[in-house]
Chains A and B, each alone.
Chain A
């Protein structure tokens, strides 16, 4: 009898979790705007993954004799840039850079920020003060300025862009997680776990962290949109990925100099950023409503 009781409790817990997950997904998909956002995000991800199949030309193949062609000329769907490279193919490949940087930089920020927020909130005291003062200091830098400063020292390159935007993301995650930990650690089940002799690590990662996931997921999703814009901004300023790698920001940067001769360079690269970011924001809004309606991002 006693041996079956925990297992039935566990089954009940698992079922409850499944029902919660199902109702969350139903809630999310019922929200048409969020579903549209999810569709756009998936669509852009597919474009990024299958870029070699979708692109009509090699993205870095130059042909100066065919530079700045208009849309639809000589088999170039959106025309060509100032080096005669196919604009459509470069925008398709640009999706890769945007999504790689967006996801990786946010993961970077999330891992470090969550860890710092967890230990600051859980242990409190001087450690909390030290960590949160540092986070306040990082927060005092406008996001893009912090990334610019880091890029100036690190130098151009994909990995450096990820590090720079990732570091700028750390304080946001740390603050959100710390706030959650402060309320979760007062809960009765944490007290019980502690009295049963669980280690700090076990309490933090098995009990506290799972209770911080909802706001983390919402904030993380929204942050991907911000990271994509930041990458484009860095590339627009000439600090992002190295040429000739196609990135939406660098195409826009080149397009700015040829606005009169070839406005589609600036127009379509920016539209690609807008559509992707809008899709992620719509999805993020829906996620917030479904997971954590009280949260105001």
Chain B
């Protein structure tokens, strides 16, 4: 297993390199001058030139690229112009907050989505099944930034149950901390929860119709064991595949959720940086999130291998289409 993880880690290096190139290309090659965008339409030509010098944008492209990669390898994501701080320290201040939010959303999504999918599949075509399916279809279609605003409207403004914005600290007490976490977590959990319910249902239905499940039932095994022990274990692989995709949804969704609830995480950092036209922060944070996403997917690949030891990656990347 150690060898496998090492091989996958080495495989990831080119992807991370490509990710870095993409960020570089977006910021340097597409039409539009980042310095002009950062300074806004009122900026003078001199100001724009000065900022271009500061950002190294007047250097030849290959020099810029080598400088950029060299800095990245040393963990240098640049220095924010508005915060006057290294971008990496801004990220590290906020990353734990995003992690708390994303993790609690993932836990909610898994704890509700998977059992809902299992119940739905084991009671196919029942009222319960239809209810789960309708709710999950709405769940995957809902704009989470709207859901967040609606939750604030009903549970904060109208009922006053939960705070509308901000992140509590443990110093204010555990209850306050959790109260701040409830609405943002539910908002961020909605799409993954609905997706887990849908994929769990469809893969459980596929497994349930197979002969060995019928045999297990014929042997007189209790339904709970048939579903929980035999069926679910074999339905797990597609769920894990979706888990990888949902990490992307969680990291992307965090940008919107943190904006609605003024949650001091990386998403909020990006949006604030956009408002302040601090392009170095946007670039660094986006790159950081992409690297995290790639690493989390590696973790999921390893889980995949544990759940299904027959999976073999030696013939190519991910094996899609093969």
Point out residues on A near B: beta carbons under 8 Å. 121, 132-134, 136-138, 140-146, 148-150, 152-155, 175, 178-180, 182-183, 225, 229, 232-233, 236-239, 249, 252, 255-256, 259-260, 263, 266-267, 269-270, 273-274, 277-278, 281-282, 285, 296
Contact = CB atoms under 8 A, between A and B. Distances in A.
A155 B322 CA distance: 40
Contacts of B32: 153-155
Nearest to B28: A153
Interface string B266-287: 0000110011000100110010
7 A-B pairs with least C-beta separation:
A270-B146, A142-B252, A179-B321, A137-B18, A278-B141, A144-B252, A277-B141
A270 B150 CA distance: 9
Contact of A274 (B19, B142, B253, B294): B142
Q: Is the interface of B mostly helix, strand, loop or mixed?
A: helix
A255 B140 contact: no
A137 B152 contact: no
Interface in B91-141: 137-138, 140-141
Contact of B18 (A133, A179, A266): A133
B37 A266 contact: no
Given A121-B321, A149-B286, A273 B294 contact: no
A152 B259 CA distance: 16
A121 B252 CA distance: 29
Interface residues of B, number: 57
A98 to B, nearest CB: 11
Contact of A266 (B153, B251, B279, B291): B153
A142 B248 contact: yes
B279 A133 contact: no
Nearest to A120: B321
Contact of A136 (B18, B34, B140, B283): B18
Contacts of A296: 199, 202, 238
6 contacts: A148-B282, A153-B26, A225-B141, A236-B256, A259-B157, A277-B141
